[in-house]
């Protein structure tokens, strides 16, 4: 608020509406550290309980993948079936889905180090295989250029949906 008011008064001085910016003499408030709700790092038991409690959810595979790989929600939402290399048990991270002006858009990952390959454990590959079969049963395409995670209508999942699902479940549990 202080920055906005100071900027507005600076503009008023430039336009000769006032002679002096009164906000320049004000002491801006000091920011306080946000208190987190819930644990920052879960134990293996907490993670296991969370995944067991969310197993019934449609997008459980996205939560499982994020938990076992450390992928960001935008990276999970940006995955395509061609990014999963079953022969090497790896996922290639090359793009992300971000929210721009309220819409979900696909973008390249931000940095060179964000472009990477992630090894998958056998259980995560079983979860992805079961998800692929479900996508096929639901009539959603599973070609190499199709998104791995989609909403119920078959559109690429919005990264905020993953975020909201996660936080709803954490609050519930």
Each residue of 8-43: pLDDT tens digit?
Answer: 999 999 999 999 999 888 887 776 666 666 557 899
- Output the pLDDT for position 38: 58
Cα 73 versus chain centre, distance: 2
Mean pLDDT along residues 119-133: 97
Whole-angstrom distance, CA of residue 170 vs CA of residue 164: 10
- Output the pLDDT for position 97: 93
Evaluated on CA atoms 157, 158, 160, 161, the torsion sign reads: negative
Mean pLDDT along residues 97-106: 86
Q: Which of 46, 19, 125, 116 is nearest to 75 (CA)?
A: 116
- Do the strands 84-85 and 90-93 form a parallel or antiparallel pair, or are they unpaired? antiparallel
More confident residue, 3 or 172: 172
Q: Give the pTM.
A: 0.75
More confident residue, 67 or 27: 67
Q: Where are the alpha helices (DSSP H) in the chain?
A: 2-14, 44-53, 60-69, 73-77, 122-137, 159-172
Confidence of residue 153 (pLDDT cuts 50, 70, 90): very high
Looking at mean pLDDT, say which of 30-44, 90-104, 129-143 comes out highest: 129-143
Confidence of residue 108 (pLDDT cuts 50, 70, 90): confident
């Amino acid at each position: 608020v202080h920055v906005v008011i100071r900027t507005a008064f600076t503009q008023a001085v430039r336009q000769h509406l006032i002679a002096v910016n009164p906000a320049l003499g004000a002491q801006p408030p000091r920011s306080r550290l946000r208190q987190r709700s819930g644990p920052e790092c879960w134990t293996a038991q907490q993670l296991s309980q969370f995944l067991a409690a969310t197993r019934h959810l449609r997008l459980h595979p996205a939560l499982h993948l994020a938990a076992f790989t450390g992928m960001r929600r935008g990276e999970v939402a940006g995955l395509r079936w061609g990014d999963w290399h079953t022969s090497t048990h790896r996922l290639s991270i090359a793009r992300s889905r971000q929210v721009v002006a309220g819409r979900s858009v696909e973008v390249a990952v931000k940095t060179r180090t964000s472009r990477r390959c992630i090894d998958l454990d056998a259980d995560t590959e079983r979860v992805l295989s079961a998800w692929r079969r479900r996508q096929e049963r639901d009539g959603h395409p599973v070609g190499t250029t199709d998104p791995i995670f989609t909403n119920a209508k078959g559109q690429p999942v919005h990264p905020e949906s993953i975020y909201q699902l996660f936080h709803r479940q954490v609050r519930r549990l």
